[in-house]
């Protein structure tokens, strides 16, 4: 597919804050369904075999790898050390970049860059780059949050991706090309990516084979070469997936989207809980920590009057007391079509104090990039358009009723979302 790799426009949108800028780049002239596999998703031995079939020496694989992972080459046609004929064969067989179009929004004084990527078949996914300047006791970091699926089947009601529903699993190259796209921008500015978190669109453990292939590429010193300790995989609680990761041994950090410690409320906030209840999730995470020696990170989106009460904090203490764990409390991002808002900071501080008093390490995180829709799925939701007002009203009323019933201790009678119960 022909590409124009240029900055196309810089614009203001009525839906954006004044300080947000939009840049569209790597523009495909006509996005179509694209059958060629992504070159970055090819394992090194498969690439060597592909070269051998064409009579090419194995060292060409290293030259191709330098072009794919070096962060400076924008297309295989520009991979100078390769013979022109081989470049043509590679271009015919593989896509150098599976991201057909990338739209950037920058905010937080340039500290947060949200990217909306259009894939070859038109599916939209998101990644977010967060810059943490050096402070006393901590080095400068560039953390990239990436997607593993287009949409998500889990359907957490405080998440814009959950409202969009499930589109499809991402291919390995579509996952790692989010990293390569960001790396090209950083390398051009003399900067370097330091951390990757699988906390974007999708449930990584429901696309685990591709996620593991992507991690292998990101961790491989001959490819992206990022240390395993700098990679975090998040799950909303796919117990068989956690157990599979545990069997693989210490590889990377595991984060669990907890959100509530009581089943009735977690049934509402994380519908996957109807398939794998919170005690089973935490037991699997505890075994992972025991087997790998790696601390589990628990993420809790704080929603005013819903999951931020003293009873919720007490339940969390009971659930996690004595575990090798760290809890992150994050004020809910403003997401359309929910009846909820973020917990006030004094409430979050009280919640944190109760956890800390029980010996549970707890950090309050601040939201990044609210002006540009940094919450997972918000940019894709903008493109999907506004749902009909009656449907929005019904959704809000259902969430109010379900969370009220949950606070009274009633469990949901709805089954787990389709596609997550196998
Ligand atoms: S929070 Fe994560 S698991 Fe839940 S719907 Fe959103 S993307 Fe899916």
Question: For residues 243 and 251, what is the distance between their CA atoms, to the nearest angstrom?
Answer: 13
Residue 7 pLDDT > 70: no
Which residue of the set 145, 156, 159, 376 is catalytic?
Answer: 376
pLDDT of 376 reads 65
Residue 418 pLDDT > 80: no
Q: At 3, which helix (H) or strand (E)?
A: strand 3-4
236 ligand 1 Cβ < 6 A: yes
Residue 19 pLDDT > 60: no
- Classify residue 417: in a domain, yes or no: no
Cα-to-centroid distance, 181 and ligand 1 (Å): 23
Q: At 168, which helix (H) or strand (E)?
A: strand 166-169
Cα-to-centroid distance, 202 and ligand 1 (Å): 6
User: Is 56 in the same domain as 203?
Assistant: no
Does this model's pTM top 0.85? My answer is: yes
User: Is 60 in the same domain as 105?
Assistant: no
User: Is 153 in the same domain as 86?
Assistant: no
Q: Are 44 and 103 in contact (CB under 8 A)?
A: no
Percent of the chain at pLDDT exceeding 90: 67
| Confidence bin at 371 (pLDDT 50/70/90) | low
Residue 376, Cα to own-chain centre: how many angstroms? Answer: 8
205 ligand 1 Cβ < 6 A: no
156 ligand 1 Cβ < 6 A: yes
Cα-to-centroid distance, 257 and ligand 1 (Å): 9
In Å, how far are 73, 201, 252, 420 from 169, measured between CA atoms? 27, 10, 21, 13
Q: List the CATH number of the domain containing 54.
A: 1.10.150
CA-nearest residue, atom 5 of ligand 1: 162
Cα-to-centroid distance, 105 and ligand 1 (Å): 22
Q: Is 382 designated active site? A: no
Give every CB contact of residue 105 below 8 A, 6+ residues apart in sequence: 16, 20, 21, 22, 113, 114, 115, 116, 369, 372, 373, 379
| Confidence bin at 81 (pLDDT 50/70/90) | confident
User: Is 148 in the same domain as 270?
Assistant: yes
Which residue of the set 56, 126, 174, 299 is catalytic?
Answer: 126
pLDDT of 55 reads 95
User: Is 267 in the same domain as 370?
Assistant: yes
pLDDT of 420 reads 65
- Classify residue 193: in a domain, yes or no: yes
Instruction: Give the mean model confidence (pLDDT) for residues 274-297.
Output: 95
For 287-346, the pLDDT digits (tens) are: 999 999 999 999 999 999 999 999 999 999 999 999 999 999 999 987 767 889 999 999
Instruction: Give the mean model confidence (pLDDT) for residues 383-400.
Output: 77
Question: How many C-beta atoms lie closer than 10 Å to residue 202's C-beta?
Answer: 29
161 ligand 1 Cβ < 6 A: yes
Q: Chain-wide mean pLDDT for the chain?
A: 86
- Classify residue 354: in a domain, yes or no: yes
Q: Ligand 1: which of 126, 149, 150, 156 to mutate, judged by most atoms within 8 Å of the beta carbon?
A: 156
Q: Are 363 and 298 in contact (CB under 8 A)?
A: no
CA-nearest residue, atom 4 of ligand 1: 156
SS3 257: strand
Instruction: Give the total residue count for the chain.
Output: 422
User: Is 248 in the same domain as 143?
Assistant: yes
41 ligand 1 Cβ < 6 A: no
User: Is 133 in the same domain as 85?
Assistant: no
For 181-197, the pLDDT digits (tens) are: 999 999 999 999 999 99
- Classify residue 73: in a domain, yes or no: yes
Question: For residues 110 and 244, what is the distance between their CA atoms, to the nearest angstrom?
Answer: 39
* The pair of three-digit structure tokens given for residue 176, joined into one six-digit string: 């790692």
375 ligand 1 Cβ < 6 A: no
- Per residue in 19-51, is it b (16+ CB within 10 Å) or e — as a string? ebbbbbbbbbeebeeeeebbbbbbebeebbebb
Number of domains in the chain: 2
Give every CB contact of residue 89 below 8 A, 6+ residues apart in sequence: 54
For 93-150, the pLDDT digits (tens) are: 999 999 999 999 988 778 899 999 999 999 999 999 999 999 888 899 999 999 999 9
Residue 20 pLDDT > 70: no
Q: Ligand 1: which of 169, 202, 300, 419 to mutate, judged by most atoms within 8 Å of the beta carbon?
A: 202
Residue 214, Cα to own-chain centre: how many angstroms? Answer: 13
Task: Name the residue range of residue 62's domain.
Answer: 43-93
Instruction: Give the mean model confidence (pLDDT) for residues 258-285.
Output: 96
φ and ψ at residue 183, rounded to 5 degrees? -60, -40
User: Is 389 in the same domain as 343?
Assistant: yes
User: Is 104 in the same domain as 252?
Assistant: yes
User: Is 158 in the same domain as 238?
Assistant: yes
Cα-to-centroid distance, 203 and ligand 1 (Å): 6
pLDDT of 182 reads 96
Nearest ligand 1 atom to the CA of 235 is: 3
Residue 15 pLDDT > 70: no
User: Is 328 in the same domain as 396?
Assistant: yes
Q: Are 196 and 146 in contact (CB under 8 A)?
A: yes
Cα-to-centroid distance, 127 and ligand 1 (Å): 14
* The pair of three-digit structure tokens given for residue 158, joined into one six-digit string: 């405080």
| C-alpha torsion angle, residues 201, 422, 282, 198 (rounded to 10) | -20
- Please choose, from the candidates 299, 293, 333, the residue with its C-alpha nearest in 3D space to the C-alpha of residue 316: 299
How do the residues of the chain divide into helix, strand and coil, expressed in percent and rounded to 5? 40, 20, 40
* The pair of three-digit structure tokens given for residue 276, joined into one six-digit string: 């794998």
376 ligand 1 Cβ < 6 A: yes
pLDDT of 406 reads 84
Q: Are 33 and 45 in contact (CB under 8 A)?
A: no
Query: Any idea what DSSP says for residue 157?
Result: T
pLDDT of 10 reads 30
201 ligand 1 Cβ < 6 A: yes
Cα-to-centroid distance, 204 and ligand 1 (Å): 10
Q: List the CATH number of the domain containing 109.
A: 3.20.20.70
User: Is 53 in the same domain as 179?
Assistant: no
Q: Is 126 designated active site? A: yes
């Amino acid at each position: 597919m022909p590409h124009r790799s240029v900055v196309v426009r810089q614009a203001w949108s009525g839906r954006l804050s004044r300080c947000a800028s939009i840049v569209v780049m790597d523009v495909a002239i006509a996005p179509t369904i694209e059958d060629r596999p992504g070159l970055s998703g090819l394992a090194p031995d498969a690439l060597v075999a592909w070269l051998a079939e064409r009579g090419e020496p194995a060292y060409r694989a290293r030259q191709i790898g330098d072009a794919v992972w070096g962060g400076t080459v924008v297309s295989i046609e520009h991979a100078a050390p390769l013979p022109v004929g081989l470049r043509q064969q590679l271009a015919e067989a593989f896509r150098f970049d599976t991201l057909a179009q990338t739209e950037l929004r920058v905010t937080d004084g340039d500290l947060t860059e949200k990217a909306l990527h259009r894939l070859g078949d038109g599916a939209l996914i998101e990644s977010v780059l967060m810059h943490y300047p050096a402070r006393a006791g901590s080095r400068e970091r560039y953390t990239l949050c990436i997607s593993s699926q287009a949409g998500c089947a889990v359907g957490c009601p405080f998440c814009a991706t959950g409202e969009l529903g499930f589109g499809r699993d991402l291919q390995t190259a579509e996952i790692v090309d989010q990293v390569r796209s960001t790396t090209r921008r950083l390398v051009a500015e003399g900067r370097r990516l330091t951390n990757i978190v699988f906390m974007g669109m999708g449930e990584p453990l429901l696309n685990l084979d591709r996620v593991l292939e992507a991690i292998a590429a990101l961790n491989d010193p001959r490819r992206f070469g990022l240390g395993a300790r700098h990679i975090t995989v998040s799950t909303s609680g796919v117990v068989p997936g956690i157990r599979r990761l545990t069997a693989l041994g210490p590889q990377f950090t595991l984060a669990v989207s907890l959100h509530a410690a009581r089943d009735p409320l977690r049934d509402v906030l994380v519908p996957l809980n109807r398939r794998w209840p919170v005690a089973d999730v935490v037991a699997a995470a505890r075994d992972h920590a025991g087997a790998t020696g790696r601390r589990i990170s628990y993420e809790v989106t704080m929603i005013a009057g819903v999951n931020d009460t003293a009873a919720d904090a007490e339940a969390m203490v009971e659930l996690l007391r004595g575990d090798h764990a760290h809890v992150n409390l994050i004020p809910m991002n403003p997401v359309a079509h929910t009846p909820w808002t973020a917990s006030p900071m004094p409430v979050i501080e009280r919640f944190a104090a109760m956890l800390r008093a029980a010996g549970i390490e707890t950090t309050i995180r601040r939201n990044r990039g609210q002006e540009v829709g940094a919450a997972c799925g918000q940019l894709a939701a903008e493109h999907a358009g506004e749902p009909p007002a009656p449907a929005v009203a019904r959704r809000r009323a259902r969430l109010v009723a379900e969370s009220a019933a949950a606070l009274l201790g009633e469990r949901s009678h709805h089954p787990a979302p389709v596609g997550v119960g196998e």
